[in-house]
Amino acid sequence: MTGILQLLLLVSMTVASEPSCPACSKYDYEEKVLERMIRMEFAFKKVLKENKAISKTVEHDLTRIKEENERLHATVDALKDHKEIAERKLVSLMEEVERNQSSTLEKIVSDSNTTLEQTIVAFNDIKDQIATPLVYFHARSPQTSSLSTDEVIVYKTVETNQGNGYIATTGKFTAPVPGLYMFFMHTCTRPNTYGYLQILKEGSVLIAIKQYNT
């Protein structure tokens, strides 16, 4: 449109500025104007043609730019999606790491607690043992039921012998560590028979009993 306007302006200016020519033919001026107008028409057509070509190219370029723009938009959208997915993944990973850390910490604490408790129990056991060494025995069933005077009773069956104080071959007890010891003795005699029994310590009588008839 601007092209047409400019052209018309050019024509009118040409018409206005043409001087009169008395030496030429009667229609000389009109002929010249006509000739110019025809030339201008050609030029105008040429410009129009060029314009058309240009506008076609521009249209084509615009379409291409539009397509390119759409492709770019799609790429940007895809990148946005990727970014969001990556962000979500990162957040959940961080949460998992946090959970793992706290559960690992809890486990360490509880393990330490268990170990500590076990150590305390073990320590108390050892402490008691150090303070009071375990020494005890239980023996039963005399090898003979008919004893001669001053014969030591030797028991056939030794049930327990913690500290190995009792000697099963001699029937004697030797204290492995100094301390206070307590002895129980349970005996039976046959009907119409006597039993004289003593507990001796290094030859001295600690206690003696006499029993008769069952």
Ligand X SMILES: *[C@@H]1O[C@H](CO)[C@@H](O)[C@H](O)[C@H]1NC(C)=O
Chain positions contacting ligand X, by CB under 6 A: 93, 96-97, 100, 109-110, 113
Give counts: helices (H), strands (E), the chain: 2, 6
**Cβ–Cβ < 8 Å for 172, 152:** yes
Cβ(137)–Cβ(166) under 8 Å? yes
Catalogue the long-range contacts made by 158-165 (C-beta closer than 8 Å, 24 or more residues apart): 160/136, 161/137, 162/134, 162/135, 162/136, 162/137, 163/133, 163/134, 163/135, 163/136, 163/137, 165/135, 165/137
CA geometry: angle at 181 spanning 124 and 167, to 5°?
100
Nearer to ligand X, 57 or 101 (CB): 101
Distance CA 37, CA 99 (A): 90
Q: Specify the residue, 38 or 109, whose C-beta has the smaller distance to ligand X.
A: 109
Tokens matching residue 94: 């961080």
The angle at the Cα of 179, spanning 176 to 183, to the nearest 5 degrees, equals: 85
Of 41 and 96, CB closest to ligand X: 96
- Give the residue with the Cβ less far from ligand X, 115 or 129: 115
CA–CA gap between residue 23 and residue 29 (Å, rounded): 11
Q: Which one, 109 or 175, has the nearer CB to ligand X?
A: 109
> Minimum CB separation from ligand X for residue 87, in Å?
17
Bridge partners for 194 per DSSP? 212
